[in-house]
Structure 1
């Protein structure tokens, strides 16, 4: 798979590459945050059509997310986020999305840095560029897709343009999934109050009760298969429901750094602590069951004998272990240390002696175990952690 990063100029123009002078392309366009089942359905259709027509399969992926750029501009005097801007609301980083696209068999990924000038171009101009520059023969979109200035290029407008010009075709994928749900307009993380996977608060509500809930939470209607719904579920600790929409385990990635050493020195549970630059959406504070995957040190994959990322991420990889995962401010120790920053730490359940400092670690979530609790002493904490390990093994064995 080839990956090309493209930055529009000040006028919003992109220097699109010429993929071939003779071979056509089947293209899809979007942010693809989370790579949920709807996204996967669209991309799988691109690959299918490309193989059937002996064309290139192409994904044009926007980064940062378009909605984030427009929101930032609306709150920062029409300026745009800079290169150091961290999108903490993104479910997945660009590299995580590209990894899934590779697994699905895409030939070309064109990563376009989304800008206001680029967004101001009409959908007709944009599609004309794709036909003329990339040799697009078919564009594959989800049923609710919209593009171009003021999002006027919906599937109806694009279909009319395709029929009028005759130079490309539109293929619409039914990516709506199992229907719609309502989520709060402002998603505020809310840690579950008790142990176990939280239930949907709207389950069993009458229509009147659901209307009242929506009014109280300024609820908006979104697809079940949507990034917004996944973000809401993770913010409430509803990991299993989020994973069902994603079609895979939600994961975050970061570099392992030195922590307070309390895990091994005081309680006998050595943990891998992720630094502050974590890729992917961090679920609400709590203790979770899941897995950790050692992705190796940066640059290690370039070594001849080093295992590939694909090998490390495989289901039965030797670099993958069940893990009890804690997200929060470690209330039992924060008063003594004065450290109150939010941290992610994972205890890999293995007999091996692991030295992960400086390694990239992928942390995958299988289920919510319990909320963060301040314990009265070390013995009580150790007993709780032993229970977390037992529950983690039970849950991960069931899920594997």
Structure 2
């Protein structure tokens, strides 16, 4: 897969590379945060049409997320106080690129999303894609919209395609099984009991659903959506989130030295540093996996040349994962700092310091609780390990 990174100028113009005049392409675009089943349906359609017509397949990938850029007034992502980190992003750009490659996409244009870029009209933007990239077909989800004021909705783009005749529009039903209701101003809330929490509306009558929605000022949201996945993870409903994603939700980070309290009671953990990529579920203990991606400063190309695929061939172990909150704030995000540590279930001694690891979440085990002493904690950790083995079998 070929990857081209593009940054708009101050006026929002992109210097698109000129495509091969002899080969047209099928294109889609978006942030694809989480790469859930709806996203996968759109991308698979791109690849399918490209193969059918013997043309290229291309994805325009926006990074950072448009929602984040608009909410922050145009601030970029970064590591200093002037560039806040997008803590609501489900996945980093590398994770999304890996998923796109697995789906068979030939070309990805990673476009740095800015407000100036967003201010361009959809007609101008689509003209660039047909004239520069050679777009023959545009594939979009059912409620997609683009351009200044999101005026380029499905109806408007369909009319433009019919009027010009230079490209076709192909619309994919990416909504999933209907809609769900999500409280308008929700905040992360840890379950108060062990086990994966159930959907509070699972067995509710229509009247009970209406009452719940009114009480929580809930809004209708597509079942297959990044917003729904984020909401589920923030309430410990990992298995429901994973069902929408079509894969386990994961975060990545570098293993650093911790306080080594786990080692003192026979449960040594891999502690992730402050720079964690991916959306952290609500505080609690989880079952999942830890995947060793190799030395942290090894790039993707070096990793592959060393004979390790970044997702499939890397060493992995079942793991009991703990997420907890420190009583301090991060200067970068303004949020409470989070601690992620994973106990790998293996007889081998693992030396992971300085390695980048991927922590995958399979299910919620229990909330964070305070124990009276090491014996009580050790007994609970043993139970967590057995439950992890069951969930990851």
Interval of TM-score (by shorter of Structure 1 and Structure 2): over 0.9
Query: How far is 1:110 from its partner?
Result: 0.5
User: Is 2:145 aligned against 1:146?
Assistant: yes
| Count of residue pairs the alignment pairs up | 379
1:309, distance to aligned residue in structure 2 (A): 2.8
User: In the alignment, what sits opposite 1:106?
Assistant: 105
Q: In the alignment, which residue of structure 2 is the partner of 1:227?
A: 226
What is the deviation of 1:376? Answer: 0.1
Confirm whether residue 385 of structure 1 aligns to residue 384 of structure 2.
Answer: no
Aligned to 2:365: 369
The one-character-per-residue Cα deviations of 1:331-386 (angstroms, maximum 9, x if unpaired) are 9xxxxxxxx94200000001111000010000000000011110000000000000
Q: TM-score, normalised by structure 1?
A: 0.92
Question: What is the alpha-carbon distance in structure 2 between the residues aligned to residue 194 and residue 161 of structure 1?
Answer: 54
Residues 82/191 of structure 1: CA separation in 2 closer, same or farther (3 Å cut): closer
Q: Which runs of 5+ in 1 are unaligned?
A: 74-78, 332-339
Counterpart secondary structure, 1:309: coil
Aligned to 1:337: none
Partner of 1:199: 198
Cα distance between partner residues in 2 of 1:82 and 1:94: 12
**Which secondary structure does the structure 2 equivalent of 1:68 belong to?**
helix
1:216 is displaced (CA, Å) by 2.1
Aligned equivalent of 1:359:
355
In structure 2, what is the equivalent of residue 179 of structure 1?
178
Corresponding residue for residue 238 of structure 2: 239
In the TM superposition, 1:192-341 aligns within 5 A as 192-264=191-263, 266-300=264-298, 302=302, 306-310=306-310, 313-314=311-312, 317=313, 319-329=315-325, 341=337
RMSD across aligned C-alpha pairs, in angstroms? Answer: 1.6
Cα distance in structure 1, aligned partners of 2:304 and 2:66: 39
C-alpha contact (below 8 Å) 2:137/2:170 kept by paired residues: yes
Distance, in Å, in 2 between the alignment partners of 1:60 and 1:199 is 37
Q: Deviations over 1:100-142 (max 9, x none)?
A: 0000010111011111111111110000000000000000000
Stretch of structure 1 that moved more, 358-367 or 182-191: 182-191
The aligned counterpart of 1:334 is: none
Which segments of structure 1 move beyond 4 Å, counting only runs of 4 or more? none
Shift of 1:214: 1.5
Residue 166 of structure 1 is matched in structure 2 by: 165
Contact kept in structure 1, 2:303 and 2:309, CA below 8 Å:
no
User: Contact (CA 8 Å) 1:300, 1:306: kept in 2 or not?
Assistant: no
1:68-124 alpha-carbon deviations (Å, 9 max, x no partner): 111111xxxxx5335443110000011111110000010111011111111111110
1:293–1:320 CA contact under 8 A, matched in 2: yes
CA distance in 1, matches of 2:304, 2:155: 51
1:15 aligns with 2:19: no
Q: Residue 51 and residue 172 in structure 1: after superposition, are their counterparts in 2 closer, same or farther (change >3 A)?
A: same
